[in-house]
Structure 1
Amino acid sequence: MSEARLDRRDPERRTSNMQEEDLITAAEEAGFAKAAVMNTEDLVFQHEFRRFCQQNDCGNYGSNYGCPPYCGTPEEMESRVMQYRRAVVFQSKTPVSNIFDNEETKQIKKIHTRMTLRTVEELKRRGLDENGMLVMCGPCNLCESCNMPEGKPCVQEQSRFSCLSAYCIDAAKMAKHCNMDMQWNGDVASFFSMYLFDKK
């Protein structure tokens, strides 16, 4: 069956010039435990989650341009996501020595972030929509250190990203929709990121 015939019969099974199944396979081959494609309409936003950012357990509130309050209000963040129709969700599962060790989990988040960036760039080369937006598992770390604390302008304004928490996305419901288990126990940490595409 030609790509054109498949596209007419079931257009939502295509991700720009990539088949959905090929996209998921490529993501898993890149090292993710699982990947899935979903409609943004199926994401659940809980604006009250912003209070977790305000508690500043991660130390990035008010000190990173990709984090609250500088990234935008919960309403603004939801509106940005809903400019897109679809998302590819990435899940990693990583063994940990101590699930409560913030430094260890921060390093795992950085590894997940780098893997997401590499994978998305490769998928774009294979035909995935280039005009999408990233949502990560942790704060923007494109720079060695953010200019925000020094009051200097962001030098990565067009490519900086924010995390699922900043967007107030219910990660547990997202994982359930994607048939992913949100494993977070004594020896495994599970993190998620996504790439939004197909702009309205």
Structure 2
Amino acid sequence: MKLYSFPFSPNCQKVIAVAHEVGTPLQLVPVDLFKGESRTPGMLSKNPNGKVPILEDGDFVLWESTAMIAYIAAKAGRTDLLPATPRERAEVDRWTAWQGAHFGPAVRKVAYERIVKKLVGRGAPDEAVVKAGTEEFAMFAGVLDQSLGGKEYLCGRLTIADFDLTPYAALTAGCGLDFGPYPKAKAWLQRMTSRESVKKTLDAAREAA
């Protein structure tokens, strides 16, 4: 499989981490978002949204990172990571939908203001946006903390939902968001970032910086 990716993108990182977890080799093709490389005619022919990641498996081209991690897990036969029963699958789908609609956007809002703007020379952070994103993060981190309860993983056992959320959760420290008040969520994040598949992915992103 070939993955067009940007090393600092949490959506790319989740795909790489799942591939590492299941032992699926990926040929990584770097795409520099800051230089607009995802919006060239060739890239737009693969993903008309002008974004990465993009996964190619032979003549099959797939965009949307959550679809990719499900595809990689399914193709590897990992029903532990991608449950087949309706109830278990609904649990996974709930968390991936929640990440995409709530947690991820809150973290991205702060990360853009505090990290991306500096990298691309777009001025100082908008503190009103940072405040709004920080408040949203606090609300959703509380949801995560409460929902984990006594569980080690989001759905009780390790699934693609954990990998879907982890790169955004790992980004929080770099943009000044604190998991300290949420001990169960913090322990979950430490558990995930200690996995070799995730550690290898995040280490590679740091080395690319």
Q: In which range does the TM-score fall when normalised by the shorter chain?
A: under 0.3
**Greater relative contact order, per chain length (Cα 8 Å cut-off, separation 6+):** 1
Q: Please give the TM-score of this superposition, normalised by the length of structure 2.
A: 0.25
Which structure is higher in strand share?
Answer: 1
